[in-house]
């Protein structure tokens, strides 16, 4: 089976929001992922890189879509059945349709969500889209420095770690090398969660 992905009509990401330079910036992970999901927040260099991957692993778009479906099921369970009201999502990607705050708020309009990403393009786009949305924010942080993520006051203000939190790290841990010790990163992040939390 082959998978067709949308070709954006223009060469510029939508809404004129800063996404990096279409002419000179290198391919970007979040924009490539957006392309696989059928989005339009990507540039020619992203699509070219994405197509190279497709040449070797043609099912990547299917995996991306399945991952989004998994996220939808997981957030529904966490909000509806586990009663989670706080979400910490590290490596959210571009905030296109079906992100954690949209999913969680379908079930609980008061759900609080903090996104953490290390990509300035993602941060800029997300800040613009999330502007004016109470209880949803994005902060800059790198999974390779988990102690700095946890200590960030911008994260500590909306998230109360004395109450259960869902820590989401979907399709992001594979960006860490073995030398960056993803196991210790996850352990450290989990240590801050109180009983009743999920990760
Ligand atoms: C493939 S997207 C995942 C999107 C989303 N979590 C999902 O499951 O649909 C990967 C995201 O992780 C971010 N990322 C990659 N390495 C990271 C790191 N070391 N720290 C924080 N974010 C990182 C990228 O910028 C990108 O936004």
In tens digits, the chain (199 residues) has pLDDT values of: 444 555 543 444 443 334 555 667 899 999 999 999 998 889 999 999 999 999 999 999 999 999 999 999 999 999 999 999 999 999 999 877 789 999 999 999 999 999 999 999 899 989 988 999 999 999 999 999 999 999 999 999 899 999 999 999 999 999 999 999 999 999 999 999 999 999 9
Q: How far is the centre of ligand 1, averaged over its atoms, from the C-alpha of 118 (Å)?
A: 8
Distance, in Å, from the CA atom of 144 to the CA atom of 141, rounded to the nearest integer, reads 9
Distance, in Å, from the CA atom of 22 to the CA atom of 42, rounded to the nearest integer, reads 9
Element (H, E) at 191: helix 182-191
Q: What is the CATH number of the domain that holds 114?
A: 3.40.50.150
Distance of CA 60 to the CA centre of its chain: 17
Q: How many domains does the chain have?
A: 1
pTM (2 decimals)?
0.89
Residue 173's domain spans which residues? 70-191
Name residues contacting ligand 1 (CB within 6 A): 29-30, 33, 67-68, 71, 90-93, 117-119, 122, 142-144, 170-172, 175
Residue 83 covered by a domain:
yes
């Amino acid at each position: 089976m082959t998978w067709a992905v949308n070709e954006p009509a223009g060469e510029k990401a939508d809404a004129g929001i800063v996404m990096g330079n279409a002419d000179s910036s290198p391919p970007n992970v979040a924009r490539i992922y957006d392309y696989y999901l059928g989005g339009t927040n990507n540039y020619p260099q992203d699509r070219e890189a994405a197509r190279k991957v497709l040449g070797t692993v043609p099912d990547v778009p299917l995996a991306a879509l399945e991952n989004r479906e998994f996220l939808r099921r997981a957030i529904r369970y966490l909000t509806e059945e586990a009663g989670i009201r706080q979400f910490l999502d590290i490596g959210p990607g571009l905030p296109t349709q079906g992100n954690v705050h949209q999913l969680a708020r379908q079930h609980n309009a008061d759900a609080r969500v903090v996104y953490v990403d290390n990509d300035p393009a993602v941060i800029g786009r997300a800040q613009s889209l999330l502007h004016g949305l109470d209880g949803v924010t994005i902060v800059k942080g790198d999974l390779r420095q988990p102690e700095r993520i946890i200590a960030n006051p911008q994260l500590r203000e909306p998230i109360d770690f004395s109450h259960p939190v869902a820590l989401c790290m979907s399709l992001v841990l594979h960006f860490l090398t073995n030398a960056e010790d993803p196991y210790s990163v996850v352990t450290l992040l989990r240590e801050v969660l109180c009983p009743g939390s999920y990760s």
